[in-house]
Structure 1
Amino acid sequence: MKRIACVFPGQGSQEVGMGKAMYEAYPAVKQLFDEADEALGYSLTRLMFEGPAEELTKTENAQPALLLNSIAIQRVLQQEGVAPAMTAGHSLGEYSALVSAGALDPMEAVQLVHVRGKLMEEAYPTGMGTMAAVLGLSQEEIEEVLRDFDGELAVDLANINCPGQIVISGTKEGVDKASDQLSEAGAKRVLPLNVSGPFHSRLMKSASDDFADHLSETKIYDAKVPVYANVTASPVTSAEEIEKLLVEQLYSPVRFQQILEAFVEEDVDAIVEVGQGKVLSGLVRKVKRRMKTFSVQDPESLQAFIDWYKEES
């Protein structure tokens, strides 16, 4: 049997219409979507299928929508006999990875990330914090520029995505000033991101404290397969360790490049992106150009992957 790693997308991949084709094609997907609507007390399904986009993009809606879409597709893969050797997710996607690994109950996870989204929105005044993608500089070069950014100019590394693509996060004033200095230091481009807050920075510490209370009330199980944590880029299976790292994840950088490098070292036959979009598949190719990738997000792409997975080696 082929050896695969599954990765799950995070916030930013949401799109109106997501999940609709899978919902109409597979009873297991419809069942999960219906259960999620009941658990949340509103029709997330309608919001995903019909929008409006600005409502779906709100953190408190985008997070459960992306998670629900990913875990529903993963449910179908599971029914087809697909068993990943390891999993990981990008930021929010880590929750999908944990559901896939049996560490979180699907409906508890949907409710949990809905709360997580609200806390992240409320953690810092709207418009006062932001993020930007820095292209063409190394982690060390960016850290050198950010060394003195503190207080009202606080800026941190947020996402280490792939060689030459790192996201910074912090106060609006700090990110604006850092962007200018990073351009002067040789960055090819510094692109402001359309986000509502300074995620994965020290400014999220208050949200993490509140979130820890909610997380302590959620049943977390030992993972059945290793989940590579955003905070450490290392495999974790212990329920206690998972809980600790999910709290830290809110204010720590996402070490996705290191996770992908670890997967390559584990000699997997393919890395499979489960959920909306192809962002993570693109990052895989930046880390290891020849790595086989699949993006499974609708019945056609799912069947193409299943055909490959089940063919004789």
Structure 2
Amino acid sequence: MMKTAFLFAGQGSQHKGMGEDLYRDYEEFRQVYDNAETDFDLKKMCFEDENGLLSKTRYTQPCMVAFAAGVSAILKKLGIKADMMAGLSLGEYSALCASGVFDEKTVIRLAAFRGDAMTKAAEGVDSAMTAVMGLGRQELQSCVDEAEGLGVVSICNDNCPGQLVIGGEKAAVSAAAEFAKNRGAKRCVPLNVSGPFHTSLMESAGDELEKYFENLDFGNEKVPVVFNLTGKELLPDQTIPELLKGQVKSGVKMTDSLNYMLDKGVRRFVEIGPGKALTGFVKRCAKEKQIDDIECYTVETSEDIEALASSWS
């Protein structure tokens, strides 16, 4: 049988109306949303977003994780299973929920706490994040090293070959982007984000998460999760809390994670959205490795689930 991986989207792909048809059509999805414990109206935020708050980190994170948990519950009911899982940044929490480490209520509460901790860590920092296209990691790292005299800057996402993201303090990020252009980067695109995520400026968020984890029950993975911090599965000398603490203040190794799965024989990838960014990353990694027998599915709507179920074997 073809090996399958579930990939869970990260912050940035949220949008008004996400999950509305799934809530209407699937009892499993409704249960996740109706049982969620949030200090705001989860359904109203996802479906209507009247005040444009969905893009703010403290709301985005629990909403995205609730969406993913609802979709995972539907797929479980339909008997659609994975051999491996991974998520982009916040999506790692969704992967851990789907794997059995957290239940739905716990992971939504945890995502809300993480969103608050990251928001607080970003307060008072003149920050920026910029996507850099068409430059290798080593070349970009030299640009980052050159700009460090102006402030904190680092590679915070290694998404796929030819697509990296730098983040940190605005002046240093801008300088690193200019250096990257001079060294042949095809494009440098500033990202609309509210903090310097996955950089050392998130140190306090990591500390807050560490304290929160002390009173949290972590179950065992029923399906292996490939972690952002290492690009590999959990090793015997590692713990999930320490990997999650490190993840929030360190670069996301998505390229390594996808290559690891491809090397393990995964050929079918199911992106649990909203969005299709991870599917693009998979295709880029597979092309680089000259693998052409992959299948990719995106799951965001009821129609997507029906299409996946009808093709599943």
Please state which band the TM-score falls in when normalised by the shorter chain: over 0.9
- Report deviation, 1:2: 4.0
- Report deviation, 1:127: 5.9
Residue 133 to residue 193, structure 1, CA distance change in 2 (3 Å):
same
The correspondence of residues 139-150 of structure 1 with structure 2, limited to 5 A, is 139-150=137-148
Report if aligned partners of 2:147, 2:175 keep a CA contact under 8 Å in 1: no
- Report deviation, 1:54: 2.9
Instruction: State whether structure 2 residue 121 is matched by structure 1 residue 118.
Output: no
- Which residue of the partner structure matches residue 300 of structure 1? 303
Q: Distance in 2 between matches of 1:102 and 1:177?
A: 43
In structure 2, list runs of 5 or more residues that go unmatched.
none
- Report deviation, 1:238: 6.9
Instruction: State whether structure 2 residue 157 is matched by structure 1 residue 159.
Output: yes
The correspondence of residues 1-313 of structure 1 with structure 2, limited to 5 A, is 1-36=1-36, 39-52=37-50, 54-126=52-124, 128-150=126-148, 152-236=150-234, 241-289=239-287, 290=292, 291-310=294-313
Report if aligned partners of 2:14, 2:274 keep a CA contact under 8 Å in 1: yes
- Report deviation, 1:239: 11
- Report deviation, 1:295: 0.1
Percentage of identical aligned residues: 35
TM-score for the superposition, normalised by structure 2 = 0.94
TM-score for the superposition, normalised by structure 1 = 0.94
Report if aligned partners of 1:145, 1:178 keep a CA contact under 8 Å in 2: yes
Residue 295 to residue 178, structure 1, CA distance change in 2 (3 Å):
same
- Report deviation, 1:147: 1.7
Write the deviation string for residues 271-298 of structure 1: whole angstroms up to 9, x where unpaired: 1001211111111111114321000111
In structure 1, list runs of 5 or more residues that go unmatched.
none
Q: Distance in 1 between matches of 2:199 and 2:149?
A: 12
Q: Distance in 2 between matches of 1:5 and 1:275?
A: 14
**Aligned CA-pair RMSD:** 1.6
- Report deviation, 1:151: 6.2
Residue 74 to residue 89, structure 1, CA distance change in 2 (3 Å):
same
Which range moves more in the overlay, 175-184 or 6-15? 175-184
Report if aligned partners of 1:224, 1:237 keep a CA contact under 8 Å in 2: no
Residue 303 to residue 239, structure 1, CA distance change in 2 (3 Å):
farther
Report if aligned partners of 1:2, 1:309 keep a CA contact under 8 Å in 2: no
Structure 1 residue ranges, 4+ long, deviating more than 3 angstroms after superposition: 148-152, 237-240
Q: Which amino acid aligns with 1:123?
A: A
Q: Distance in 2 between matches of 1:53 and 1:278?
A: 25
Write the deviation string for residues 105-163 of structure 1: whole angstroms up to 9, x where unpaired: 21111011111111111102356011000001000001111124436511011000011
Which range moves more in the overlay, 281-290 or 77-86? 281-290
Q: Distance in 1 between matches of 2:79 and 2:243?
A: 30
Report if aligned partners of 2:146, 2:176 keep a CA contact under 8 Å in 1: no
Q: Which amino acid aligns with 1:33?
A: Y
